[in-house]
Amino acid sequence: MSRFRYSRWDGSQVGFELDADDIMAELTDDLLYHGDLNAALRRMLQQGFRDRNDERVSGIRELMEKLRRRKRDQLEKYDLGGAYDDIAQELREVVEQERQSLQELVDEARASGDQRRQEITDEVAQERQAKLDFLPPDLAGQVKELQEYEFTSSEARERFDELLDKLRQQLMQSQFNQMAGALQDMGPEQMQRMKDMMNGLNQLLEMREAGQNTDSAFQQFMERFGDFFPDNPETLDELLEQMAQQMAAAQAMLNSMTPEQRAQLQGLMNQLMEDMDLRWQMDRLGQNLRSAFPEAGWEKRYNFSGQDPLGMAEGAQLMNELGDIDQLENLLRSANNPGALADVDIDRARELLGDEGAQSLEKLAEMTKMLEQAGLIENKEGRLELTPRGLRKIGSNALNDLFAKLDKDRMGRHQIDPAGIGHERTYETKPYEFGDPFNLQIERTVRNAITRTGGGTPVSLSPEDFEIERTETLTRTSTVLMLDLSLSMPMRDNFLAAKKVAMALHSLISSQYPRDFLGIVGFSEVARELKAEQLPEVSWDFVYGTNMQHAFQISRRLLGRQTGTKQIIMITDGEPTAHIMSNGEPFFNYPPVQETVDATLAEVNRCTRDGIRINTFMLDATSYLRDFVEKLTQMNQGRAFFTTPETLGDYVLVDFIEQKRAMRGGRGGRRAG
């Protein structure tokens, strides 16, 4: 026997995962209201929802706002002038160290007492001090002069050379961040490989531009220079797109600087790239990538307003992040269905949005796939549509939603004893009596015999052991639901409740009373028959007019082909304002004219003669509508209910079930509520 142990929830346990039923439950109201599955999915994608663990699945709007907030925080925190300031400060320190060394040299010469040495030292020191005093104000000029300057201090010279190496490495990393590992040691041999790699890449770009096949050349290129690309791109386009984004980010950093800062750094870059071949290859690569990927964001700029300085390497890294934010934001903005999110790099999204944001993106991306795998929707010529199973699920959701609001004791009230001769099992038994149908319940019958005889085989049966199954007498009901689709229904917030009742009633009858008939007629200026599979996408008509006369006419025709107890359930919020004239054209007038009222009541009279009961559910009981329904009810002997969108489902479903159990031919009456 299996044993189970339970413990208190401490927040660490993993709950139920999102499934297709959760998604469909969230879609139900929107789908019923607007009647468009694709639009409902888009809105759900935009707005997000809560899963079965009551955890928030952020929608696209929320995720985009989170990205914008992160971007805004970065721009308000940092100042790109730091790249210039840091370099200028390090150069000042090198110059100051050289000045101190010159002063120490002069002091040593004076202390030696050697006049000749002192004169020579003073002359050299003055000459070099003058060069230091007249260094150009721009970074590029300072670097150029110091490269040609004969340092007195070996420590200052070494520090200056290290600064140049660091700046060259930062410059290369700002252009090609993905190669950071390969750029750690920029010795002569590695520098030559860098130039060879760029030359090979430029050749591939030019082959691609000329329309030549680059597959073989790309494989050879990766075999030779694959260590430069740790992301291991699988295609040339993937590699080029990565490099274009990187170089565009470096350009965006320059674009975002002040004109003075930009001029300083550009001049410094030109001075640092003293290898003319490398500089030419970089310029060539930049031009080729601009031509191949013009939409990479080469003209992009950001408005920094913060105080924290950023160095060149940090600035390049931040530019990459801002570029990724823009790219993800653009992808989210253009996503018009969940499948479009499949292109999102979830790992990068997790870095930008956090774990919860990334999880939301994953769940949003899987929505359509989960619904398709569950057989609830299907893709037909690029458009998503409900399957028959999905239709049933929508109806079931509507039914469950309405039943959840009912008091439990209301569902059991019936006005007659349903037990008797019939065909529906009640799963109850009784001792057999003469005249009962011989629906023998074998298990109970054998048990009675064993109890009577004390056991043993064979089991001997006698009539007193017989126990039969009870059955329930149910009247076959043929129902037509008349659904008001006039423009006043959504204007008065009545449409969703009415349509949910239609879906719930269809689900109830098809699942619990499959022998019954349910027809659906929508009416506004004119009426039309609706099929069950059309219900989820049915919306209101953008016309004025409440043509009950035409709807009764179509309903009567539908019920004329059916058997059993016949009834019409009409849900409306307005009085009759339209009817069909003798020439077949609709006539509309508001307020209602007597001609429309007479035509409608004439059709009610025909329904009454055919034994069709009309039960009316009024969602906006104006005085005129009350008067009209009073006349309709007196003529037809049906029932009238004055209700609201919140209680409509209670009235319709409870009334249908009670009448299903209690309805007798010809019994009528009127009830207001």
Length of the chain: 673
Residue 588 is predicted with a pLDDT of: 95
Give the per-residue pLDDT at 185. 55
User: Which residues fall within 8 angstroms of residue 539, CB to CB, at 6 or more apart?
Assistant: 34, 35, 36, 485
Instruction: Return the pLDDT at 406.
Output: 53
Looking only at the bridges linking them, the beta strands covering 419-420 and 377-380 are unpaired
Q: Which helix (H) or strand (E) holds 316?
A: helix 312-334
Contact 527, 554 (CB under 8 A): yes
CATH code for 477-662? Answer: 3.40.50.410
Cis peptide before 591, with omega less than 30 degrees from 0? yes
DSSP β-bridge partners for residue 612: 566
Q: Return the closest-CA partner of residue 618 out of 504, 476, 489.
A: 489
The whole-angstrom separation of Cα 265 and Cα 271 is 10
What DSSP designation does 17 have?
P
Q: How high is the pLDDT of residue 83?
A: 65
Q: What is the pLDDT of residue 402?
A: 65
Distance CA 416, CA 423 (A): 17
Of 547, 653, 551, 664, the closest CA to residue 611 belongs to 664
Cα maximum dimension of the chain: 147
Alpha-carbon gap, residue 560 to 555, rounded angstroms = 8
pLDDT of 410: 43
Burial class (CB in 10 A: 0-12, 13-18, 19+), 185: exposed
| pLDDT value for 585 | 94
Task: Give me the amino acid identity at 499.
Answer: K
Is the separation of the CB atoms in 494 and 573 below 8 Å?
yes
572: nearest Cα among 528, 653, 629: 629
Q: Which residues of the chain have pLDDT under 70?
A: 1-17, 82-83, 172-187, 271-276, 402-427, 435, 470-475, 621, 650-651, 654, 659-673
Predicted confidence at residue 9, as pLDDT, reads 53
User: Token pair 């994608």 is at which residue?
Assistant: 45
Indicate the pTM of the whole model.
0.62
pLDDT of res. 43: 87
So what's the pLDDT on residue 661?
Answer: 59
Partners of 480 in beta bridges: 519, 568
Cα 364 to the chain's mean position, in Å? 4
Give phi and psi for 42, each to the nearest 5. Answer: -65, -45
Distance, in Å, from the CA atom of 89 to the CA atom of 471, rounded to the nearest integer, reads 97
Domain ranges of the chain: 20-48+60-77+327-386, 83-175, 419-472, 477-662
